[in-house]
Amino acid sequence: MSDELRLYDHTFEATPGDHMDRLDVFLVRKFPGYSRSNLARQIKEGRVAVNGRTGKKIRPGLRIENGDVVQVALGQRTEPYARPEPIPLRILHEDAWLLLIDKPPGLTVHPGAGESGGTLANALAYHFGQLSRVQGPLRPGIVHRLDKDTSGVILVAKDDQTHHALATQFRERTVKKEYLAVVKGIVELDADLISAPLGPDRRHPTMMAVRLDIGRASETYYEVHERLRGATWVRCFPRTGRTHQIRVHMASIRHPIISDHVYRGILRALRPICPRQALHARRITFRHPHSGEMLTVEYPVPDDIHALIEHLR
């Protein structure tokens, strides 16, 4: 199905955290599915108004001030909408505005390099049809990601307004997430905060690494849940949301996640029990954008990680 519909109009009010940001940078945060150059072009085409003003003075480099009202009427997208595919989904919570799903391991979140189908986005298109388009038509409803081989709770927005409200909570770090992981070795400390900036690995651009030079600030707090034979079951609470964050942070303290073939977590004897990285997004807590109530949704340890823990006890 091609995406030939005009997207909804949007109105945002700049907050103190947006003060003196460029207009195009402000919009990239609101529409992460669009490139900065695409949004800059739409600004130049007059599709963006600031405090009701349009025209030549509304430029991509215009500095936003606290309280500015930015109105956006995005142009048509030519990319095809995610192809509907009858992939089964386990729904943990659903209401008129959002849903939470238990993503199984091995399921990629959205189409990308080398994968045009068989993703969560394709499943969402089949089961729910039209969802939020903030991330673009190939990522309907996708508010945040989980790695392909990470299982657990993932949040999906049904409409753009809900998506923006949820994205603001992620950006302001008020969304609380808990992950369960089984890592190599016996972790000495009962709890600790790993604060190490992350950026692309110098030698392997698809990997992340601790980068003191160009890395973005990243923090993961962990607690030991149980010490096992040659391994440790930990609870991880990421305070930031960088790519591969928990995996890289645990590897950086010499306790990579078991069966993580990218970050040195392979133990051949354990691969038949849990062939994928032993990482599970157990719980998420956030404020519902419409009711204002705090909502917590969780899903217990899946069978493969449970079997691994029992084997290591």
Catalytic residue flag (residue 147): yes
* Chain-centroid distance, C-alpha 306: 25
The CA-based angle 28-169-27, given to 5 degrees, is 15
Map tokens 């990308």 to a residue.
Answer: 112
Catalytic residue among 147, 149, 159, 260: 147
Map tokens 């299982």 to a residue.
Answer: 151
End-to-end alpha carbon distance in the chain: 51
Q: Which two tokens stand for residue 307?
A: 């079997």
Distance CA 218, CA 209 (A): 11
Question: Is the C-alpha dihedral spanning 75, 76, 77, 82 positive or negative?
Answer: positive
Burial label for 161, CB within 10 Å (0-12, 13-18, 19+), is middle
Say which residues have a Cβ less than 8 Å from residue 273's Cβ, sequence separation at least 6: 304, 307, 308, 311
* Amino acid, res. 273: I
Say which residues have a Cβ less than 8 Å from residue 299's Cβ, sequence separation at least 6: 90, 92, 102, 152, 153, 280, 282
Burial label for 64, CB within 10 Å (0-12, 13-18, 19+), is buried
Residue pair 268/121 in contact (Cβ under 8 Å)? The answer is: no
Residue pair 55/45 in contact (Cβ under 8 Å)? The answer is: no
For the annotated catalytic residues, the residue numbers are 147
